[in-house]
Amino acid sequence: MEPHIEHSKPTSFPPHRKDTPWQVWWNLLRPHTLTASFIPVLIGTALTLKVTSINWTLFAAMLIASILIQAATNMFNEYYDYQRGLDTKESVGIGGAIVREGVPPKVVLNLAIVLFAIAVLLGVYICLISSWWVALIGSISMAVGYLYTGGPYPLAYSPFGELAAGVFMGPVIILLAFYIQTGMVTLYSVLVSIPIAILVAAIMLANNIRDLDEDQAAGRRTLAILIGRKRAIQLLGAMFVFAYVWAVAMAVLTDASLWILLVLLSIPTALKAVRGFIGKTKPVEMMPAMKLTAQLHMRYGLLLSIALFL
């Protein structure tokens, strides 16, 4: 299935662009966000070592499928934000390939569908090796990825965007990655997935804090809009605290190794992220804090993965 391209030269962009064609397509994937799918797969696979050895082929298939689904979700986001007039040339962020770089909207939409199709093929392979229950959960995950910004009632425009992202890019991916390797789900694997869910949700909240004014003007009803900027920043800080308290509680109250306390090394990133939002109102001023929130998820997740492997 080839994406339909409306222009004879899809890599020919308006003269005002600053990025090369390669950079435009790379940015369309929003690569800085893809760790949100890589980290959960890595953690779920690392958990396998408490039960059995790792099937690295299954790991690779799960990892690629997860990244493809997230990349497609990013493209659906790009397409539907453009359709609803939310993206402009002045919008802050890595998105905006359609409005700033002249990428045809149908190309973005069709490419997202193609990535979904490849993920489905990988999902079929995973099901053949593990269980067809994976197909059900995977289909629901893909539906949520589309409905995050697609459909008549996009989750991203509601107070439930953080919840959806946290659940499906935290416990769902982690437990799927663990299940396809072991054929089971354990209480320990569920407990390990909780702080990752919180930190994925934090990425969405940070994004909505940055875009609060623009989203409000566009009629969105995100959580940050409902509770206000100040309380949203306080909630973000509380989410970070919860993630660290949860790790300490696991080290003390469960049979988790004390290596899990390695995640505490990422605390300086959390502090910088919260401080980066305080007193700021312009999106461009809050970009560094938002990036730090995404980096916190990556660093916390990598440290947790190392702890599990150790």
CATH number of the domain bearing residue 249: 1.10.600
- For 149-175, what is the mean pLDDT? 89
The answer to whether residue 10 is domain-embedded is no
Q: With bands split at pLDDT 50, 70 and 90, how would you rate the model's confidence at 310?
A: confident
Q: Which two tokens stand for residue 272?
A: 């910088």
Mean pLDDT computed over every residue of the chain: 86
pLDDT number for residue 126? 94
pLDDT number for residue 36? 83
Q: With bands split at pLDDT 50, 70 and 90, how would you rate the model's confidence at 230?
A: very high
The answer to whether residue 9 is domain-embedded is no
Query: How many angstroms separate the Cα of 91 from the Cα of each of 31, 85, 198, 213?
Result: 18, 11, 27, 12
- For 169-192, what is the mean pLDDT? 94
pTM value is 0.85
The answer to whether residue 238 is domain-embedded is yes
pLDDT number for residue 18? 54
The answer to whether residue 221 is domain-embedded is yes
pLDDT number for residue 46? 94
pLDDT number for residue 188? 93
The answer to whether residue 259 is domain-embedded is yes
pLDDT number for residue 35? 82
The answer to whether residue 13 is domain-embedded is no
The answer to whether residue 8 is domain-embedded is no
Q: With bands split at pLDDT 50, 70 and 90, how would you rate the model's confidence at 14?
A: very low
Q: Is the pLDDT of residue 21 over 80?
A: no
Q: Is the pLDDT of residue 225 over 50?
A: yes
The answer to whether residue 173 is domain-embedded is yes
pLDDT number for residue 13? 38
Side chain identity at residue 173, one-letter code? I
Say which residue, 21 or 52, is predicted with more confidence.
Answer: 52
Domain that holds residue 117: 21-309
pLDDT number for residue 92? 52
Q: With bands split at pLDDT 50, 70 and 90, how would you rate the model's confidence at 28?
A: confident
Give the chain's end-to-end CA distance (angstroms, integer): 43
Task: List pLDDT tens digits, range 68-120.
Answer: 998 888 888 888 887 776 665 555 555 566 766 677 888 888 989 999 999 99
For the chain, how many structural domains are there in total? 1
